[in-house]
Amino acid sequence: MDKVSKEISPNIIKYVNNGVASFKLGKINDSIKSFKNAIKENPNSNLAHNNLGISYLELGIYSKALIHFVIAIKINKNDLGAVMNLINVLTLYKSSKKYEHPLIHIDHVIGQTLINYKDENLYFEENLSNILIKSNDHIKKYNKNLYSNETQLFRKNSKNLNCNRHFKVFNEYNVIPKYCFSCYKVQINLSNVVDLIKLFLVFDSLYLKNNNIRKCIVEMRQNIKGNYKGYIYCEGISEAQDITKKLNQKIKEANINNFNLNIKHGCSEYYRSYPAFEEISNDEDKEFKYLSSWAEKEKLIDLREPSRLKKDEKIWGETLKGIHLSDILIINNWICYADATGDYSYKKIYNNYVNSGLMKKYLENQINFRKENLLNEFN
């Protein structure tokens, strides 16, 4: 969400900047009022429409968020922020207005591609190729340069893990938040990008009683081993163990042969400062413990955060099942990552031109490290 520096009317500056300030203070309904006033002042302000959409998104009012993202794009087709906001809201909300904007139609068409395949056939390389190529053909008809900056592909539930807050605690005070001691993850390491795409499809269709948050990533962090990973986040070791058994079978059914599946604590960033936190033990006495003195550090971080009224609380939406435009754009980034790091397995399913120049730039300080990981992952 951005402030406005220059608009036709001085009132636009006032209303938009007030809206942004209210949003940052957690006063989301007040921000909505301000952005509406900006739109009354100038209905053709794409910035006001986009920011209003973001405020509606925060409250889980997806239908209204979508409307204003579409308006912002129609006013200014080069508003990339509004474009990505529209693409992202379509992972949470299925619009009946497929022809209101080409991106909504493309998202719908891409979602239909999975209907043609039975579960047991979905993981065949020929079928993966058809899904990717057909989806990208639709995207290119709209904009051949459409891309996303994201490299992590989530399937979310309505629970907030509050990871941003936890990292603030750790980064500022080098202490692990208490919540993270009950957070476990099932981690899957893979050897190539094709298997990562298969794992994404496994995650999308995998039924779990608590609909656990799951994600697939290409590793972008400096000096973190392993290029291709999937995670499922669990509350407690017993849930992680149950999911591991179920997932192990599903991965094999997807014709993924080389993989490591482990249960780990929280986030890898913690391990450097506290190596013992990585270790999992069924003996509670041997587990690394939360220090009571850390609670004060957590309170200091929490005191900085503005409290919200119930009407302003953020709504965390669940990702809709199936494949979305957003997913294809992220998978395109995975393929660029594979090309940049020398993993040419992607050519089995995607033989179109791959421009990995931007990904090479992102990885310029760790290209050799990533190539070594590719060679040594399962050796």
Cβ atoms of 297 and 175 closer than 8 Å: yes
- Quick one: 194 and 304 in the same domain? yes
Burial (CB < 10 A; 0-12, 13-18, 19+), residue 64, is middle
Cβ atoms of 358 and 350 closer than 8 Å: no
Of 287 and 157, more confident = 157
Q: From CA 261, how far away is CA 243, in angstroms rounded?
A: 11
Is 341 within the bounds of a domain? no
Residue of 107, 168, 201 lying closest to 304 (CA atoms): 168
- pLDDT at residue number 7: 45
- Quick one: 2 and 80 in the same domain? yes
Could you report the per-residue pLDDT of 71-98, keeping only the tens digit for each? Answer: 999 999 999 999 999 999 999 999 988 7
Is 17 within the bounds of a domain? yes
- Quick one: 74 and 202 in the same domain? no
Cβ atoms of 89 and 121 closer than 8 Å: no
Return all residues near 165 (Cβ < 8 A) that are at least 6 apart: 177, 301, 302, 305
Mark which of 312, 332, 348 sits at the end of a domain: 312
Is 19 within the bounds of a domain? yes
Confidence bin at 261 (pLDDT 50/70/90): very high
CATH of the domain at 2: 1.25.40.10
- Quick one: 159 and 292 in the same domain? yes
CB atoms within 10 A of CB 338: 26
pTM of model > 0.75: yes
CATH of the domain at 173: 3.30.70
Q: From CA 352, how far away is CA 336, in angstroms rounded?
A: 11
Cβ atoms of 94 and 105 closer than 8 Å: no
- Quick one: 284 and 203 in the same domain? yes
- pLDDT at residue number 194: 97
- Quick one: 64 and 201 in the same domain? no
Confidence bin at 2 (pLDDT 50/70/90): low
Confidence bin at 3 (pLDDT 50/70/90): low
Q: How many separate domains does the chain show? A: 2
- Quick one: 253 and 170 in the same domain? yes
Is 7 within the bounds of a domain? yes
Mark which of 312, 329, 364 sits at the end of a domain: 312
Structural domain of residue 229, as residue ranges? 152-312
Average pLDDT over the chain, rounded to whole? 92
In 3-state terms, what secondary structure has residue 173?
Answer: helix
- pLDDT at residue number 23: 97
Is 259 within the bounds of a domain? yes
Q: Is residue 5 pLDDT above 70, yes or no?
A: no
Could you report the per-residue pLDDT of 365-378, keeping only the tens digit for each? Answer: 999 999 999 988 77
Could you report the per-residue pLDDT of 311-322, keeping only the tens digit for each? Answer: 999 999 999 999
Mark which of 89, 110, 136 sits at the end of a domain: 89
- Quick one: 177 and 295 in the same domain? yes
Q: What are the Cα distances from residue 84, in Å, to 2, 45, 50, 52, 329?
A: 15, 18, 11, 15, 11
Could you report the per-residue pLDDT of 190-232, keeping only the tens digit for each? Answer: 999 999 999 999 999 999 999 999 999 999 999 899 999 999 9
Show the tokens assigned to 17. 């900047």
Angular region, 231: left φ>0, alpha ψ -120 to 50, beta rest: beta
Is 99 within the bounds of a domain? no
Could you report the per-residue pLDDT of 120-166, keeping only the tens digit for each? Answer: 788 999 999 999 999 999 999 999 899 999 999 999 999 999 999 99
Return all residues near 89 (Cβ < 8 A) that are at least 6 apart: 53, 57, 62, 65, 66, 69
- pLDDT at residue number 203: 97
Q: Is residue 355 pLDDT above 70, yes or no?
A: yes
- pLDDT at residue number 283: 72
Q: Is residue 6 pLDDT above 70, yes or no?
A: no
Is 139 within the bounds of a domain? no
- Quick one: 81 and 175 in the same domain? no
Is 370 within the bounds of a domain? no
Q: From CA 180, how far away is CA 169, in angstroms rounded?
A: 11
Q: From CA 44, how far away is CA 296, in angstroms rounded?
A: 48
- Quick one: 172 and 55 in the same domain? no
| 296 CB-side CA count, 13 A | 2
The 228-235 sheet, strands edge to edge: 152-155, 214-218, 228-235, 183-190, 259-265
Q: From CA 176, how far away is CA 55, in angstroms rounded?
A: 31
- Quick one: 208 and 77 in the same domain? no
Q: Is residue 267 pLDDT above 90, yes or no?
A: no
What does the pLDDT average to over 11-30?
94
Give phi and psi for 376, each to the nearest 5: -105, 0
Show the tokens assigned to 203. 């995650």
- Quick one: 85 and 174 in the same domain? no
Show the tokens assigned to 45. 């302000």
